[in-house]
A = this chain, B = another copy of it.
Amino acid sequence: MATLLSSPPSPFGRKVRIAIDVLGMTDRIAVLTADTNNPDDPVRRHNPLGKIPTLLLDDGDTLFDSRVIVDYLNALDGRDLLIPAGPERIGVLREQALADGILDAALLQVYERRYRPAEHHVESWLEHQRGKVSRALDAFSARLPVARPAGPSIGEITLACALGYLDFRLEGSWRATQPALVSWLDGFAQRVPAFGRTAP
């Protein structure tokens, strides 16, 4: 049995946990909580970058980051559910990259508070990150992720996790200006029960 090192608030961990659920692999992969801020946590032994999610395989090898784990699970499953084969593939990977980019920019805003005393916060840096989030949300709003009859793609899953993280850590202020994405997320939550089950 493989083990996923993650933590309930981690949006990249949530993405992988939803992927595991969608593929019907919850009984094959245990989920353990790791503390990335604790230098003695096993996560740094398994992943030199000290990041979650990290997947520990049965043969002792480890996989990271979330995109690599998703690629591995998609291939292991063999049905191309998360990442479609053929011409749709690259669009889904692009959606994943755009939503990952929202998460990266949101995390840097959160880290500003977590790792720096208030007097060291730099407003122009925060504004730079907010601009990325807001332009990326506009882009998703103008071109919603393609819904696939076979189930949610990793593009959809990652966008849902990104919006969930903006709700969780950045007061959901995106909701006031992105009505199309609010509706989209409501629909996603109904279609994909694992989204609710993995809420932080």
Q: Which of B75, B97, B136, B138 contacts A67 (CB 8 A)?
A: B97
> A49-B132, A131-B50, A135-B48 are contacts. A65–B115 as well, Cβ < 8 Å?
no
> A50-B132, A135-B48 are contacts. A115–B120 as well, Cβ < 8 Å?
no
Band of interface residues on A: 35 or more
User: Does B64 lie within 8 Å of A135, measured CB to CB?
Assistant: no
- Interface digits, A50-67 against B, CB 8 Å rule (1 contact, 0 not)? 110000000000011101
Q: Which of B101, B111, B124 contacts A115 (CB 8 A)?
A: B124
User: Does A101 lie within 8 Å of B135, measured CB to CB?
Assistant: no
A113 interface hit (Cβ, 8 Å): no
Chain B's closest residue to A128 (CB) is B115
- Please report the C-alpha to C-alpha distance between residue A100 and residue B48 in the assembled complex, in whole angstroms: 12
- Please report the C-alpha to C-alpha distance between residue A68 and residue B72 in the assembled complex, in whole angstroms: 16
A139 interface hit (Cβ, 8 Å): yes
Q: Within 8 Å CB of A49, what residues of B?
A: 98, 101, 105, 132, 135-136
Known: A48-B135, A115-B128. 7 other contacts (CB 8 A): A49-B132, A64-B94, A68-B90, A68-B94, A71-B90, A75-B90, A116-B125
Q: Within 8 Å CB of A135, what residues of B?
A: 44, 48-50
Scan residues 143-196 of chain A and give those whose CB is less than 8 A from a CB of chain B: none
User: Does B48 lie within 8 Å of A98, measured CB to CB?
Assistant: yes
27 A-B pairs with C-beta separation under 8 A: A44-B135, A48-B98, A48-B101, A48-B132, A48-B136, A48-B138, A49-B98, A49-B101, A49-B105, A49-B132, A49-B136, A50-B131, A50-B132, A50-B135, A51-B101, A63-B90, A64-B97, A65-B97, A65-B100, A68-B94, A71-B93, A72-B90, A75-B89, A75-B90, A116-B122, A120-B120, A120-B122
Judged by DSSP, the binding face of A is: helix
In order of increasing CB-CB distance, the 6 nearest A-B pairs are A48-B135, A49-B101, A48-B136, A48-B139, A120-B120, A68-B93
